[in-house]
Amino acid sequence: MPFDFRRFDIYRKVPKDLTQPTYTGAIISVCCCLFILFLFLSELTGFIATEIVNELYVDDPDKDSGGKIEVNLNISLPNLHCELVGLDIQDEMGRHEVGHIDNSMKIPLNNGDGCRFEGHFSINKVPGNFHVSTHSATAQPQNPDMTHIIHKLSFGDKLQGRDLQVVEVQNVHGAFNALEGADKLSSNPLASHDYILKIVPTVYEDMSGKQRYSYQYTVANKEYVAYSHTGRIIPAIWFRYDLSPITVKYTERRQPLYRFITSICAIIGGTFTVAGILDSCIFTASEAWKKIQLGKMQ
């Protein structure tokens, strides 16, 4: 007897004259195809889109920064003249800079009665502080008004915002500008303000492997009127910071092709199987009911 390779066919074909179409089967088939199409489009959308995976580890991610962190500060003091406003920087490495002026700008407000300070500067990766005060003014005012609004305080590369033009990272949620909108206009004009920041290094790696280094931070604040044995201390707006040893890393990933194909096969196979079982049950029940009505069911 000659060998017949067709014996290996597990998809045996049933002649059309042995099959019977039904309205129920047609309805189930159409619903089945629509359901498969819906799931296919959902999986395709997930396959095309990228997902953001985050992880934590202990390390200094930006070792090429020279031990520096870039800072962006934008703050308005509506009741303090620009010639009185200055930025001072201190840290535990011995840095003590009064009246930092590089990459900074002062914009008069309220017909010159107030000032908006915008500065871009760097700090060392050690605990320290920077503060907005009148310390660098040639003549100290009698009653400096330190009420203010903070428009922006961020560290490192920008990962959020409407004007981001490099990559889309709107799915990254974090406190990159936690002090945005901080309003202290109703505070005591003679009070100092302490913002205690805990800075957390953050890395964002896109699909191409390019990394961007930013910093999130948490903040606690207090305000007080300080005195010494010589009298009231000149108020200031302090930003005291410390760095966390924990780094947060966000990685852009896309679903592998094999997983997408596996999902599609599971969707098609599973839907057809369940629909076939449902159709078979309905058809069997329908035939049994017909027999009962004809009195043929004993």
Residue 63 is predicted with a pLDDT of 77
Of 226 and 21, more confident: 226
What percentage of residues in the chain have a pLDDT greater than 90?
43
**What are the φ/ψ torsions at residue 200 (nearest 5 degrees)?**
-115, 115
Of 61 and 148, more confident: 148
Helix (H) or strand (E) holding 143: none
Of 66 and 152, more confident: 152
Residue 120 is predicted with a pLDDT of 94
In this structure, are residues 263 and 36 in contact, taking their beta carbons and an 8 Å threshold? no
User: Which residues pair with residue 132 across a beta bridge?
Assistant: 87, 237
Residue 11 is predicted with a pLDDT of 67
In this structure, are residues 106 and 81 in contact, taking their beta carbons and an 8 Å threshold? no
Of 181 and 61, more confident: 181
Residue 298 reports pLDDT greater than 60: no
Residue 6 is predicted with a pLDDT of 73
pTM of model > 0.85:
no
Residue 159 is predicted with a pLDDT of 72
The pLDDT-based confidence of 165 (bands split at 50, 70, 90) is: very low
Residue 18 is predicted with a pLDDT of 66
Question: Crossing angle, helix 23-48 and helix 257-294, to 10 degrees?
Answer: 170
CA distance 136 to 85: 8
Look at residues 188, 239, 238 and name the one whose alpha carbon lies nearest to residue 217: 239
- What mean pLDDT is reported for the chain? 85
Residue 38 tokens read as 């819906």
Q: Find the Cα–Cα–Cα–Cα dihedral 222, 227, 233, 238, rounded to 10°.
A: -20
The single-letter DSSP state of residue 59 is S
Look at residues 23, 50, 73 and name the one whose alpha carbon lies nearest to residue 182: 73
The single-letter DSSP state of residue 11 is S
Look at residues 243, 215, 74 and name the one whose alpha carbon lies nearest to residue 158: 215
Q: Identify the weakest region by mean pLDDT among 18-22, 84-88, 144-148, 168-172.
A: 168-172
pLDDT, tens digit, for every residue of 236-282?
999 999 999 999 998 888 888 888 889 889 988 888 888 888 888 88
Place of tokens 């078979």: 280
pLDDT, tens digit, for every residue of 174-213?
788 999 999 999 999 999 999 999 999 999 888 888 888 8
List all residues 6 or more positions away from 250 whose beta carbon is below 8 Å from its beta carbon.
Answer: 52, 53, 54, 169, 172, 202, 203, 204, 205
Question: What average pLDDT does this structure show over 65-79?
Answer: 92
Of 141 and 153, more confident: 153
In this structure, are residues 118 and 104 in contact, taking their beta carbons and an 8 Å threshold? yes
Burial 286-296 (b: 16+ CB within 10 A, else e): eeeeeeeeeee
The pLDDT-based confidence of 143 (bands split at 50, 70, 90) is: confident
pLDDT, tens digit, for every residue of 231-247?
788 999 999 999 999 99
Of 130 and 24, more confident: 130
Question: What average pLDDT does this structure show over 18-26?
Answer: 77
